[in-house]
Amino acid sequence: MNLIGIDVGGTKTSICLGTEKGELIGSERFPSAEATTQEEYFASLKTSVLNVLRNGGVAPEQVDGVGISAPGPLDVKRGVLIAPPNNPGWRDVPFVSIVKSWLSAPVWMNHDGKASVLAEWHFGRFRGTRNLIYLTFSTGMGAGIILNGQLVQGETDSAGEVGHHILDPQGPLCGCGMRGCWESYVGGRNVALRLQERIRNESIQTALTDLVGGAIDKISMVEFEKAARQGDTFALAEWERFTDRVAQGIGNLIMIFNPDAIVLGTIAIHGGDFVMDPIRQKIPRYTWDLPRQHCQVVPSILGRRIGDLGALAVAISGLAAR
């Protein structure tokens, strides 16, 4: 089967040609920032789709299905991006029908978290697992949830918005407008902003400042992990708080869903045991032993391919449901 996957990210959009087995034949990406208007964006996207097909020796009419993975909120049934977080001027973009107008193949779209759990389920180490959760664990925290072998979509496509379950109503203000959301504690962007704020306001001496040559607003998760690995006192104490909040949310998910496995994305993939060990150590504070002992909590082995594979998996699920 010839499948096209379109992974709409915050900074770039990736287009791939692949098969139902998860083989990637070719891919291409373009930075989202370059496209200022919707017209420019979709012109770039169309060019990339046609390039990928031409380079792969596949004619547009030979495409069997297209899967789109995109950040929410979106309306899956209508195929509409409601309000893409990184394109503030965009509202109700009919993404699916625009792509459909270029190809004769059916097109499906879903959230990046849901696409990722489908990728793990079709191509990852937990292939076919009955109860599986994927956590994006990147600039934000989203999830895809498979229960009893079925993707949980929710009545308004909001199932899996775990980043906005509240850990503490007195907590920090979240981008969504509520307080103390899980994402406000563990989303990479929020973690970095909070570190910057504390270092600035409390004049904290830390290796983090040196790692960015004094430009405090450049501190990101990368420097945070580096400074903690170096044993910097402030960074290590913050690392404890950070991993504890990650464990708290994961504990909640284990208690609610009793999954076989929870697979973690980006930050866990990059950080490996340095991220995972303290999280695993703290999870018992937040769950019963029985469901915890049954649940593996591990980084994804799909690495950077997860975006492309997730988009392909959206197409595969769409075709299977027809």
Helix (H) or strand (E) holding 111: strand 107-111
Find where tokens 């097909």 sit: 53
Residue 175-194 contact track with Zn ion, rule CB under 5 A, x = bound: -x-x--x-------------
CA 218 to chain CA centroid, nearest Å: 22
What's the helix, strand, coil split of the chain in %, to 5?
45, 20, 35
174 binds Zn ion (CB under 5 A): yes
How far apart CA 275 and CA 295 sit, in angstroms, is 18
Closer CB to Zn ion, residue 166 or residue 204?
A: 166
How far apart CA 264 and CA 223 sit, in angstroms, is 20
What is the smallest separation between the CB atom of 306 and Zn ion, expressed in angstroms?
A: 23
What is the smallest separation between the CB atom of 64 and Zn ion, expressed in angstroms?
A: 38
Helix (H) or strand (E) holding 271: helix 266-271
Residue 87-126 contact track with Zn ion, rule CB under 5 A, x = bound: ----------------------------------------
Residue 175: CB atoms within 10 Å: 15
What is the smallest separation between the CB atom of 154 and Zn ion, expressed in angstroms?
A: 16
What is the smallest separation between the CB atom of 62 and Zn ion, expressed in angstroms?
A: 43
What is the smallest separation between the CB atom of 112 and Zn ion, expressed in angstroms?
A: 17
Near Zn ion by CB under 5 A, which window of 74-82, 168-176, 235-243, 260-268?
Answer: 168-176
Q: Hey, which residues between 214 and 243 contact Zn ion (CB under 5 A)?
A: none
What is the smallest separation between the CB atom of 175 and Zn ion, expressed in angstroms?
A: 6
Binding residues for Zn ion, rule CB under 5 A, total: 5
Closer CB to Zn ion, residue 161 or residue 308?
A: 161
Which two structure tokens, joined as six digits, stand for 301?
A: 């082995």
Closer CB to Zn ion, residue 122 or residue 164?
A: 164
Q: ω before 73 within 30° of 0 (cis)? A: yes
143 binds Zn ion (CB under 5 A): no
What is the smallest separation between the CB atom of 137 and Zn ion, expressed in angstroms?
A: 15
What is the smallest separation between the CB atom of 152 and Zn ion, expressed in angstroms?
A: 19
Q: Hey, which residues between 241 and 270 contact Zn ion (CB under 5 A)?
A: none
Contacts 24+ apart (CB under 8 A), 31-35: 32/8, 32/86, 32/87
Closer CB to Zn ion, residue 85 or residue 149?
A: 85
Which two structure tokens, joined as six digits, stand for 214?
A: 């004094």
Closer CB to Zn ion, residue 1 or residue 178?
A: 178
33 binds Zn ion (CB under 5 A): no
Q: What residue type is assigned to position 152 of the chain?
A: V
Closer CB to Zn ion, residue 18 or residue 163?
A: 163
What is the smallest separation between the CB atom of 39 and Zn ion, expressed in angstroms?
A: 32
User: Residue 33: exposed, middle, or buried by beta-carbon count in 10 A (0-12, 13-18, 19+)?
Assistant: exposed
Decide if 195 contacts 241 (C-beta within 8 A): no
Decide if 208 contacts 201 (C-beta within 8 A): no
Q: Considering Cα of 187, then 189, then 194, then 196, what sign does the dihedral take?
A: positive
Closer CB to Zn ion, residue 187 or residue 271?
A: 187
Closer CB to Zn ion, residue 96 or residue 181?
A: 181
Please name which of 38, 254, 70, 246 lies closest in space to residue 157, comparing C-alpha atoms: 70
Q: Hey, which residues between 146 and 165 contact Zn ion (CB under 5 A)?
A: 164
How far apart CA 303 and CA 322 sit, in angstroms, is 30
Applying CB under 5 A, which residues contact Zn ion? 164, 174, 176, 178, 181
